[in-house]
């Protein structure tokens, strides 16, 4: 999909470079308490460095500063590993970490006019900018195209490990299930619209399924510039219906329409493909690609 030279889709910063080896570390397991997440992320970065990574991309971040984390990234720099991280998407000067640690390269985002993207952080720790607004990218898993009865289109993504749909297209009445923290009344034979928060995605989807729902749409509970989020159920087999993630903007739009009257939607599921995504998390990999190419030329 992004190999280069095949006249298909898109191409990465360093296509077909046989001198570069990729590895990845998962740092967002479903069963880790939020208070432990920082140490898990640090451990993932350390694992990469200890296994030979010379350049590390971290398209993630949070507002919490940690002296222990800072020391970890300082050690990585001393040992020759370049850590590059997304500056953050709050559109403010607030420092986000690990990007704002002195030894981590912080990447802000610019738009197609080379202006700061409206969502991008800006502060004294930003080291470099890269394209991050409306970037066409390959997407894994199953993408979902949704059309409501007014012909308005929405995008969603299948939550990891949720059940696959029996058919590639289906439709149903959309019902408001609130936060999904109890079995949804009125879900039988319908599609549940649920707001993110309070309980796990697994519990929300089960409460839709236990009410007889045929699918669940979970929309974000915080402003996200119209972008869907990446969700996981932790492991396969926990629910028997498709569960999808949607942006706050689109979820609230559908919720408003439900409250005005009966709402029917149609869904089309597509395996993989491409999506336009914005964020400093899209800018950071551009810089990592260039850094990896430079590094490969000086081994």
pLDDT digits 0-9 by tens, 120-168: 999 999 999 999 998 887 766 566 778 887 888 888 888 888 888 777 7
| Of 165, 167, 166, 197, the residue nearest 181 (C-alpha) | 197
Length of the chain: 299
The answer on 130 and 73 residing in a single domain is yes
Residue 31 pLDDT greater than 60, yes or no: no
CB of 180 closer than 8 Å to CB of 203? yes
Q: Are residues 115 and 163 in the same domain?
A: no
pLDDT band at 35 (very low <50, low <70, confident <90, very high): low
Look up the domain containing 263 and give its range: 140-272
Looking at the structure of the chain, the number of domains it has is: 2
Are 113 and 152 within one domain?
no
Q: What is the pLDDT of residue 42?
A: 94
Residue 292's pLDDT is 92
* Nearest CA-CA partner of 131 in 42, 10, 221, 226: 10
Pull the structure tokens for residue 143.
């993408």
Q: What is the pTM of this model?
A: 0.65
Q: Give rounded-to-5 percent helix, strand, coil for the chain.
A: 20, 25, 50
Residue-wise pLDDT for 220-274, tens only, equals 888 766 666 777 887 888 899 989 888 898 899 999 988 888 778 887 776 666 7
Is there a single domain that holds both residue 252 and residue 290?
A: no
In a domain, 11, yes or no: no
292 and 268 share one domain: no
Task: Let me know if residue 9 belongs to a domain.
Answer: no
- Residue 240 CA to residue 247 CA, distance in Å, equals 23
Tell whether 145 and 237 lie within a shared domain. Answer: yes
Q: How buried is 169 (Cβ within 10 angstroms: 0-12 exposed, 13-18 middle, 19+ buried)?
A: exposed
Query: Is residue 135 helix, strand or coil?
Result: strand
Query: Using an 8 Å Cβ cutoff, are 38 and 32 in contact?
Result: no
Residue 281 pLDDT > 60? yes
59 shares its domain with 177: no
Please report, for the domain that includes residue 244, its CATH number. 3.50.30.30
């Amino acid at each position: 999909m992004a190999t280069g030279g095949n006249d298909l889709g898109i191409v990465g910063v360093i296509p077909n470079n046989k001198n570069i080896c990729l590895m990845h570390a998962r740092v967002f397991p479903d069963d880790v308490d939020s208070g432990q997440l920082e140490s898990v992320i640090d451990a993932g970065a350390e694992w990469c460095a200890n296994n030979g990574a010379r350049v590390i991309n971290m398209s993630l971040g949070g507002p919490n500063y940690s002296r222990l984390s800072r020391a970890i990234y300082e050690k990585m720099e001393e040992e020759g590993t370049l850590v590059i991280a997304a500056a953050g998407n709050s559109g403010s000067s607030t420092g986000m970490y690990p990007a704002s640690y002195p030894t981590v390269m912080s990447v802000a985002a610019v738009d197609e006019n080379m202006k700061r993207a409206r969502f991008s952080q800006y502060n004294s720790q930003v080291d470099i900018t890269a394209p991050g607004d409306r970037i066409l990218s390959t997407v894994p898993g199953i993408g979902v195209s949704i059309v409501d009865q007014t012909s308005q289109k929405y995008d969603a993504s299948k939550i990891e490990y949720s059940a696959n749909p029996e058919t590639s297209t289906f439709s149903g009445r959309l019902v408001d299930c609130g936060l999904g923290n109890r079995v949804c009344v009125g879900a039988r034979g319908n599609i549940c619209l649920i707001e993110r928060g309070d309980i796990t995605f697994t519990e929300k989807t089960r409460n839709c399924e236990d009410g007889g729902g045929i699918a669940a749409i979970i929309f974000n509970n915080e402003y996200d510039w119209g972008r869907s989020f990446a969700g996981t159920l932790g492991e396969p087999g926990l629910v028997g219906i498709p569960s999808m993630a949607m942006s706050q903007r689109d979820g609230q739009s559908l919720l408003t329409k439900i409250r005005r009257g009966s709402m029917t939607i149609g869904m089309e599921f597509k395996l993989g493909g491409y999506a336009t995504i914005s964020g400093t998390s899209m800018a950071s990999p551009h810089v990592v690609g260039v850094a990896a190419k430079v590094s490969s030329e000086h081994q």
